[in-house]
Amino acid sequence: MNDVLDVALRLLALLLAFLVLPLVVGQTEHKVMAHMQGRLGPMYAGGFHGWAQLVADGVKFAQKEDVVPAGADRRIFQLAPAVALLPYLLVLVAIPVGPAEGAVGQVLDAGIFFVLAVMGVGVLGSLMAGWASANKFSLLGGLRTAAQLMAYELPMLLTAASVAMAAGTVSLPGILDAFEWWWVPWQIVGGAVFFTAGLAELQRPPFDAPIADSEIIFGAYTEYTGLRFALFLLAEYAGIVVLCGLTTVLFLGGWHGPSADGLGWLWTLLKTAVLAFVVIWLRVSYPRLREDQLQRFAWTCLIPLSLAQIALTGVVKVVIS
Amino acid sequence: MSHAVHLAATGHAFLSPTGVEIAFLLVGVATLGAAVVTVTTKQLVHAALWLVVALGGLAVEYLLLTAEFIAWVQVLIYVGSVVVLLLFGLMLTRAPIGRSPDADSGNRPAALAVAVAAAGALVWVVVDAFRTTWIELDKGVQGSTAVSGESLFRHWVLPFEALSVLLLAALVGAIVLSRRHGHDSGRAAGHATRGNGAQSPGAQGPDAQSPGHGKEKR
């Protein structure tokens, strides 16, 4: 009975984090972007500095009509938002928040592989949406999504492998247990590559050519309305949370920090929040990369860098052991 | 991995299956069903998506056999990359919504014969090799990353390396083919169209392995 309660509590906490954190990131994006551009952002909803803007947006989305285009492939069109969103919920299960036994949803033996595999599945949702919409802009968006995923999955995997080599394990809590402070400078190139490739996999600016609104009208999501569109947006922000959490765990030492015994989870959240801020910052500061620039950047810059990082990791590992 | 499993099949009865065995069979049936739909459906993209179900079903089977690492790698490589590549290829060429009756090939009987022969050979080999091995699911995890890694890099290093040489040969072949194509059909056209994106994963991969070379080319 106790086990059942334990599992239920963990799932509830996960679901809560999954529902709240993306909204927090979204609201922060509203405000941070606004202030960086010399505006105020939403100010009315909820009273204090428009804190309830995203709740209001959710209510608005729920009221809208759910349209499926006549020429679309109905079932796949309707299934796509779920395929895009659910993997991020699953990934949250494996991310350790604190040093204690209970601070991770489920300890997985091959945590890194689980996380990267499931995140890759999420992109299938965009592909399904792009194809099933029967719209040429959506199809273009789907194509760009697929090309981008194939290019950026490799550097992500290679840099994650570098951390796994350093720690001698592929389990996420295991990596954090083995962490030392000097890993941060040692793995910093890999961390930057991982974060950048993750941004591209999430299709965040400056890597948002697949959904470029001024060019191909939001790509795969052109035909979506109402709740299903909101689910895609939620998937994007949940993806930001997951990516920042993963980068924190793999490269920034997760819950390690001063007085980490009691406040480890706070360190994880703080580092994740700083990274999420960087994600928003990049959106405001960089123009969108063109499609060929995207590919060139991945194949001629990120992959050599990640291979160099793996070589460095191997050399240092051999020297110190 | 056979060294890690117990040679004790004689003591096990097949008539009183455990929960895991029942789940294994059910998932197996679902996987087989998805695989059959994959090759019989008339809708091209649906076939690719049913392939996702079949490959995911296989991953679940690995999980039930405690081979967690293999399961996640299966999802990562097949669902995350191979199917995405397939969908990309379909969208790039032709992916009509609805049925495409002209997608049927006249080689159906030959394909069926090859498939049945391959399945028969595989089942025969696997049954012959592993008939007497038994995985004790209760006695700890036997397919964990550590166990898989150890058996892969201690006992099966030679096949592993042979496979990587095979893949390297395929990679080189892909580059040679795409290079020859690029020379006579005009490079500028190839650069401007989206076909460039399709070729770059195979065409530029090895360049990336030697960073200096990749930069020279640019």
Q: What ipTM is given for this predicted complex?
A: 0.80
Give the DSSP H/E element, type plus range, for residue B61.
Answer: helix B44-64
Amino acid at A158: L
Class (C level, CATH) for B2-139: mainly alpha
Phi, then psi, of B120 in degrees rounded to 5: -60, -45
Segments of chain B assigned to CATH 1.20.120.1200: 2-139
Query: B134 - beta bridge partners?
Result: B6
Q: Which domain holds residue A114?
A: 70-320
**Cross-chain residue pair A113–B72, CB shorter than 8 Å:** yes
**Tens digits of residue pLDDT in A175-215:** 888 888 888 888 888 899 999 998 888 888 888 877 877 77
Does residue A52 form part of some domain? no
Would an 8 Å CB–CB cutoff place B175 in contact with chain A? no
Query: Scanning every residue of chain B, which has its alpha carbon at the shortest distance from the alpha carbon of A72?
Result: B97
Does residue A306 form part of some domain? yes
**Tens digits of residue pLDDT in A233-278:** 888 888 899 899 889 988 888 777 776 667 777 888 888 899 999 9
Tokens (6 digits) for B71 = 């399961």
- How far does the CA of residue A89 sit from the closest CA of chain B (Å)? 16
**Tens digits of residue pLDDT in A156-167:** 989 998 988 888
In contact, A299 and B209? CB cutoff 8 Å: no
Does residue A179 form part of some domain? yes
Would an 8 Å CB–CB cutoff place B149 in contact with chain A? no
**Cross-chain residue pair A120–B80, CB shorter than 8 Å:** yes
Does residue A138 form part of some domain? yes
Model pTM score? 0.79
Does residue A35 form part of some domain? no
Does residue A294 form part of some domain? yes
Would an 8 Å CB–CB cutoff place B94 in contact with chain A? no
Would an 8 Å CB–CB cutoff place B142 in contact with chain A? no
Does residue A115 form part of some domain? yes
**Cross-chain residue pair A143–B83, CB shorter than 8 Å:** no
Q: Which residues of A touch B145 (CB under 8 A)?
A: 109-110, 169-171
**For residue A206, is the peptide bond before it cis, meaning its omega torsion is within 30 degrees of 0?**
yes
Does residue A85 form part of some domain? yes
The overall average pLDDT reported for chain B is: 75
- In chain A, how many domains are there? 1
CB-nearest to A127 from B87, B201, B208 is B87
**Tens digits of residue pLDDT in B101-117:** 676 777 888 988 998 99
Residue B36, helix vs strand vs coil:
helix
Tokens (6 digits) for A32 = 């941070």
